[in-house]
Structure 1
Amino acid sequence: MRRRKAELQAQLRLKREDLERQVRGQRERFDQVNERIEARTGRNLILAILIGVVLGGALLVSLIFVKVLFALFATVIVAFTAFELASALRKAGRRVDPVAAVIASVLIVGTAYFIDAPSRGMVLAGGVAFVIVFRLVAQMASGEQRSTVEVLSDIATATFIQLYVPWLASFAVVLVTQDDGEWWALAFIILVVCVDIGAYASGLTFGKHPMAPLISPKKTWEGFAGAAVCVTIAGVLTALFMIHQPWWVGALIGLAILGSATMGDLTESMIKRDMGIKDMSSWLPGHGGFLDRLDSILPSAAVMFAAYAFLAQGQ
């Protein structure tokens, strides 16, 4: 009896050790694959997916169920993004005021949900005026001697942040306030994601010819072609089943988003290259910073708003 018990325990021990070896082997192979992907793309795929799922879930809930929550969600994200960009520029030697950038950004995006188009222009002008005055007062208070060209460069940088981040983001908020606008907003976000996934998968698999080697060495023409196929298909599907437009309209919108998302990505890459950094921040592991995730979305929001204004309101 004892002998059989000992044999059974030995068999169980061998099976457990064998299972542990298999688990370790699978984990090692998984880590090796993840390391190769990270070396090729420059980001941790697993963390990127997890954070993307969390942010995407919060976005979906706020967008579909309670529109005003989307405005709040967008305001918070834009505030972090403006602070991130201003802080990165400041570390790169630019005279930028992160706090002023956040205040103006919250004002521009936070009010976009409640006011009309002319008022939005006035709020934008007020936000830009605020950051300019803040910068001039900070310059005078510092007592630092700087040339007129340098001060004008500071003002241009502060203005650029407001036009680039909150003003473009406000188009998504305004789009959501329109009739069925939440579906148009969700559609363009899906299309941007398809551009990213298509370029990522195709570039990782087939990428050989750099698209803009001096700006973004890892972006390839093969990735761009994969993104074009992916976003065109997604554009047709979202047009037919989400925004109720003809299939060819969806294809055109998909290609327009391909252009805006690609230009947004390259624009941010050019900014980062000018500052000599890889990511805007490390706040989103696997992604970099908030602007690293919004670079394609910001200009695409304006493109989709224009499409809605031309197509949906003209019906």
Structure 2
Amino acid sequence: MTNDPEVPTGTPEQARKHPGMTRAEFEAKVRERRDQFDRANDKITARSGRNLVSAVGIGLGLGLVMIFSLLFIKDIFVVFAVVLLAFTSFELATALRHAGRDIPRVPSVISTVVVVVVSFYFGAEWQWIATICGILLVVLWRLAELASPRHRASMRSVALDMSGGVFVQVYVTFLGSIAALLLRYDNGQWWVMSFLIIVVSVDVGAYATGLNFGKHPMAPTISPKKTWEGFAGSWIFGVAASVLLSLFLLDRPWWFGLILGTVLVFTATAGDLSESLLKRDLGIKDMSTWLPGHGGFLDRLDSILPSAAAAYVLFIVFAH
């Protein structure tokens, strides 16, 4: 009498695919496949500096929230934007503090929240007023801190601290609030969705082509992994996505897609390189480790912030 072979412990589907495989053999096969995947992922991470699995997972999560909110309830997107930008302001202020600048974080975050909300509900004029008030809040807060011995410094150092606080408000708060400003218009949600999809396409195109074909560094002293081949791929992906979105979502002619895509390729690339230069000056690799596979929030929004301003200008010129 022969003994029955052991049944694999995987799913029924796996058992049907491997009818004569023992449990030990099946587990060995699974380990082998996992090791192969890990080795491939490690190679990609070493070449690109990004954990692909984590990056894709977080990117999909953020993308689904963005699409759902823009399709159904604009106010949800505003809340989503407020949370992202508030964390980004806190993150950048913290990074600057590590570099020796005493940037007040609490007023920076408060200002960001107020400016984004005001931009969406009250429009461009109040956006400017709220931004100026936010800058004054950060500056006056830093001056008030001088009453505490722990925050006292030379006049030059305090001036640099205040300049850093203003930089956070202009770079993160003001540019980020432009997306909320665009969203308040009729059909503005389609423009916000389109420019975000185009920026993501630019990033994917640069990543894919740079990883596989990149040989000629674009700005080796700023971002060694960026290549001209990657830039060409970003333009192809970005313009292709822009033309399709212009025709089927924005109700614009195909040639507008060429303009929109090309402009956003340059703003997204400039934003990426600018943040890389900032991190190099600060002596850090990522703004934070809050988003595995991406680094920090600013590492994810660096291309989006200047692109929001460009998309808004093109909307005013061509569609409003």
Given the two structures, how large is their TM-score scaled by the length of structure 1? 0.95
Matches within 5 A, 1:56-205: 56-142=63-149, 146-205=153-212
What is the deviation of 1:147?
3.0
Q: Distance in 2 between matches of 1:8 and 1:191?
A: 54
Q: Structure 1 residues 110 and 14 mapped into 2: Cα distance closer, same or farther (>3 Å)?
A: same
Partner in structure 1 of residue 40 of structure 2: 33
What is the deviation of 1:41?
1.1
Q: Structure 1 residues 195 and 9 mapped into 2: Cα distance closer, same or farther (>3 Å)?
A: closer
Correspondent of 2:237 among 230, 244, 248: 230
What is the deviation of 1:7?
5.0
Q: Distance in 2 between matches of 1:54 and 1:230?
A: 21
The one-character-per-residue Cα deviations of 1:24-81 (angstroms, maximum 9, x if unpaired) are 2211111110000011111211011111111111111112210111111111111111
Give the secondary-structure state (helix, strand or coil) at the position aligned to 1:219. Answer: strand
Partner in structure 1 of residue 265 of structure 2: 258
Greater shift after overlay, 15-24 or 259-268?
15-24
Partner in structure 2 of residue 49 of structure 1: 56
What is the deviation of 1:117?
1.7
Give the secondary-structure state (helix, strand or coil) at the position aligned to 2:22. Answer: helix
Q: Structure 1 residues 74 and 7 mapped into 2: Cα distance closer, same or farther (>3 Å)?
A: closer
Give the secondary-structure state (helix, strand or coil) at the position aligned to 1:113. Answer: helix
- Identity level (%): 47
Greater shift after overlay, 6-15 or 74-83?
6-15
Task: List gaps (5 residues or longer) in structure 1.
Answer: none
Aligned length: 310
What is the deviation of 1:144?
5.8
Q: Distance in 1 between matches of 2:123 and 2:65?
A: 26
Is the 2:145–2:151 contact (alpha carbons within 8 Å) kept by the matching residues of 1?
A: no
Given the two structures, how large is their TM-score scaled by the length of structure 2? 0.93
What is the deviation of 1:255?
0.5
Give the secondary-structure state (helix, strand or coil) at the position aligned to 1:287. Answer: coil
Is the 2:145–2:152 contact (alpha carbons within 8 Å) kept by the matching residues of 1?
A: no
Q: Is residue 2:220 matched to residue 1:207?
A: no
Greater shift after overlay, 134-143 or 173-182?
134-143
Partner in structure 2 of residue 244 of structure 1: 251
Alpha-carbon RMSD = 1.6
Task: List gaps (5 residues or longer) in structure 2.
Answer: 9-18
Q: Distance in 1 between matches of 2:6 and 2:180?
A: 64
Q: Distance in 2 between matches of 1:307 and 1:119?
A: 21
The one-character-per-residue Cα deviations of 1:185-231 (angstroms, maximum 9, x if unpaired) are 00000000011000000000011111111111111111001001111
Q: Distance in 2 between matches of 1:231 and 1:264?
A: 15
